[in-house]
Structure formats: structure tokens, C-alpha cells
Amino acid sequence: MTARLVLVGAPGSGKSTVGALLAQRWGEPFADVDAVIEARTGRSIAEIFADEGEPAFRALEEGTTAELLDGAGVLALGGGAVMSAATRQALADHPVAWLQVSVAHAAGRVGLNEARPLLLGNVRGRLVRLLAERAPLYAAVATVTVETDGLEPVEVADRVEEALTRA
């Protein structure tokens, strides 16, 4: 099976929000890899990072992503999922939307939220580095790219739909 759409992008780019909106519009199921991991383990992502470390989380994320990519509907990946070469390879078979966001807008959206363990301590500084490291990886897997700065989630969803019709 092939997902109707997979969303990738940095923390705060709006994958979960816009993914749910598009799924609702299209009458498709929606899944969010972070939420599925949390539901299955009964722990928050932050707790998994703290208890088992990032490599253990990444292994869990890679397996869960592969499994969910085999399903239908709209799928929001974790912000760091594209760091896995296996995941990037699997994404070659799917329509993928990269939601782009600047550091300023991403920082404003995620705030000082403890739910994002990778950003703890220095949200802006960590986002600068993370976006620089990951931009080529998001670009490599993207079928369409949509800039989200200054747009409401509904407007981002509109642009994703427009971009997909042109892709």
C-alpha cells in the first residue's frame, strides 16, 4: 500500500496539524508516528529519550515509520525521521510534502515546550543547527515543498493541495 501523503519537516513546521487537516478534508485516516510511538509505549517521546537515549528512540522511530508507511492515508513523520537512510529510501515510493519553516517561526510555534527533548535548553540555537543539517535531507525526499511562514494551517493545507496537483 502507499500512503496518500507523507509530511516531513522540522519541529514546529506543522506536520501534525496540517496532516490532520488534510486527512479530514480527504476523508482519509491520519497517523502521526510520534503519537503512535507514545500510545504504544505508554510514554512520552521526552520520557523515551530520557530513559533509553536517542539511539533507542531512533530505532523505534525507524521501525514504526516503515510499518506505517505501508498503510493508507496521511502520515506525519517525526521531525528527525529523515536522518535514517532506510526511511529516506522508503520515502522514494511515496508522495512527500516538506513543510518549510524558518527558525523564527518554528521557535515561536514550539515555545519553550518540554515535549521536544532535542530543543531543550536553547530552542533557537538548536533549531538553527537542526534546520541547516536537515534541509538537504528533507529536500532529497520531498515531492512538493511548501513554505509555511506567516500562513495559517488551513492556508498551508491549501498550498499543499495546489502543489500536489502540479507535481
Ligand X SMILES: O=C(O)C1=C[C@@H](O)[C@@H](O)[C@H](O)C1
Ligand Y SMILES: Nc1ncnc2c1ncn2[C@@H]1O[C@H](COP(=O)(O)OP(=O)(O)OP(=O)(O)O)[C@@H](O)[C@H]1O
The answer to whether 37 and 60 are in contact (CB under 8 A) is yes
Supply the minimum distance, in Å, between the C-beta of residue 19 and Mg ion: 8
Instruction: Identify which range of 65-73, 86-94, 129-137, 151-159 contacts ligand Y by CB under 6 A.
Output: 151-159
Residues 89-118 that bind ligand X (CB under 6 A): 116-118
Which does residue 84 bind out of ligand Y, ligand X, Mg ion, none, counting CB within 5 to 8 angstroms by kind? Answer: none
Residues 48-87 that bind ligand Y (CB under 6 A): 76, 79
Q: Is 62 helix (H, G, I), strand (E, B) or coil?
A: helix
Nearer to ligand X, 76 or 156 (CB): 76
Contact flag: residue 80 with ligand X (CB under 6 A): yes
The grid cell for 29 is 485516516
Nearest to 95 by CA among 26, 155, 154, 40: 26
Nearest to 45 by CA among 1, 8, 20, 79: 79
Contact flag: residue 62 with ligand X (CB under 6 A): no
CA angle 50, 43, 89 (to 5 degrees): 80
Q: Report the binding-site residues for ATP.
A: 12-17, 116
